Amino acid sequence: VTVPVLAKHSRASLRELVAGASRVVVSHGLNPCVNLLEGSDQVLVITQKRVSLHATAGVTSSAVSSVDPWRHLRGIDDPGDPVDVIADGDEADQLWQDSANRGAVEASAEMCGLAERMILLATEYAKDRQQFGQAIGRFQAVKHLLASAQVKLEFARPVVYRAAADIDSPRSELFAAHAKVAATEASMLAGETAIQVFGGMGYTYEADLHYFMKRVWALAGIWGSKEYHLGIIEQAVNRPDFNIGPAATFATG
């Protein structure tokens, strides 16, 4: 999210970032809580009216709890005076939307990776866990649970790939929304399935599974919730000029 904005509008800050001389974190309307604010040098504050860089030292913030123990969140109470105003007005609004799309796609990709890991952990556990004289993975009910989660993930992946490939297209908002919905559903199902296969062990610190599940819960709520993105999809498909149905899906021209 940060690099595309700085690449277009603040080359000096980008050079510092790439060289490792500066660490920039992002505050956005769809992702207002900043992760790892401590240790950063600047905060890129993206609103629909203005996009600006602020020195972290001048930012007033307060701690925010997270279900994910590895996310150290802070809410920005007052960003202070900007050190650089990157955009305002219509340009800021466009950057806000572009950043929202990129953030949603990035979160979706991470959620797909988390889903894959949770399914793998559950599959390996099902091979080892013995019950009634055999591995629980031999029971059809367990096989069906894991297979359903894997199928959901396989259908989500190409949606995320398409959103990433078309991130600069005129329909990027719709593609990003579709990706976030698909990845959220796939990763939530993967987590629920893995927890069910593990049983009570999945919630304990003896198993790593709960860390991945908690990260999914956290990602599901940032860069737009599932409900937020379903609203974008609903608006798109209800437009009179939106091509949908077999004629559009299988069109060759």
Tell me the pLDDT tens digit for each residue of 97-151: 999 999 999 999 999 999 999 999 999 999 998 888 998 888 999 999 999 999 9
For residue 31, the SS3 value is strand
Mean predicted lDDT score pLDDT of the chain = 91
Global pTM reads 0.90
Residue type, 36: L
Domains present along the chain, CATH in parentheses: 2-87 (2.40.110), 91-240 (1.20.140.10)
Q: How far is Cα of residue 162 from the mean position of the Cα atoms in its chain? A: 15
- 3-class SS letters over 85-96: EEEEHHHHHHHH
Report residue 173 CA to chain centroid gap.
Answer: 14
* pLDDT exceeds cutoff 50 at 152: yes
pLDDT band at 250 (very low <50, low <70, confident <90, very high): low
Strand partners, 54: 43
- CA 122 to CA 98: how far, in whole Å? 36
DSSP string, 79-138: --S-SEEEEEHHHHHHHHHHHHHHHHHHHHHHHHHHHHHHHHHHHHHHHH-EETTEEGGG
Q: Strand, coil or helix: what is 180?
A: helix
Half-sphere exposure of 244 (CA within 13 A, CB side): 9
Q: How many residues does the chain have?
A: 253
Residue 142, phi then psi, degrees to nearest 5? -70, -40
Mean pLDDT of 213-241: 94
Q: How far apart are CA 9 and CA 14, in angstroms?
A: 9
Mind listing the pLDDT tens digit for each residue in 93-104?
A: 999 999 999 999
